[in-house]
Amino acid sequence: MDFKEKIRVIPDYPQEGVRFKDITTLLQDGPAYKAVIEKMAVFAREKNADIVVGPEARGFVIGCPLAVDLGLGFAPVRKKGKLPYETIQAEYSLEYGSDALAMHKDAIKPGQRVLIADDLLATGGTIKTTMDLVKQLGGEIVGLAFLIELTYLNGREKIGEEYDVFTLIQY
């Protein structure tokens, strides 16, 4: 199956010059969505992870079904102030200013093998921050899985070469 055919590209959104990759068209196609998760699960099984972590919101859309397919738990990474229990935080830079992501302090146990999953690897800022949170909690990152990678934005450079990265679709 050509998954790229299932992605709608919207020109000039959210600003002129950007070609937004809309995954909702893929998500609406049950067999395609299932096939995406199954393909990502092949990579994930090789990593022998203990838990899947994903940043909101589209990381939930990829990470949760992946965790279910693997028979693992899922730990969410959310914007600061969105989790109800005690959290740790890490800040990251945006085009104008900064923001922070958070995880519950008990989301990852020291030594747990963590697979991070998200819909998109672009500049790497959100994923690098997610990785920092996992490391703060003592997790061992065994792999990163993405539906889409925008190779021209060099997100892999921010992540670091020592990590095994899987992407299903590249632009």
Active site residue ranges:
58, 95
Q: Exposed, middle or buried by CB within 10 Å (0-12, 13-18, 19+), for 53?
A: buried
Distance CA 158, CA 155 (A): 5
Distance CA 23, CA 26 (A): 5
Name the strand (E) or helix (H) holding 76.
strand 73-79
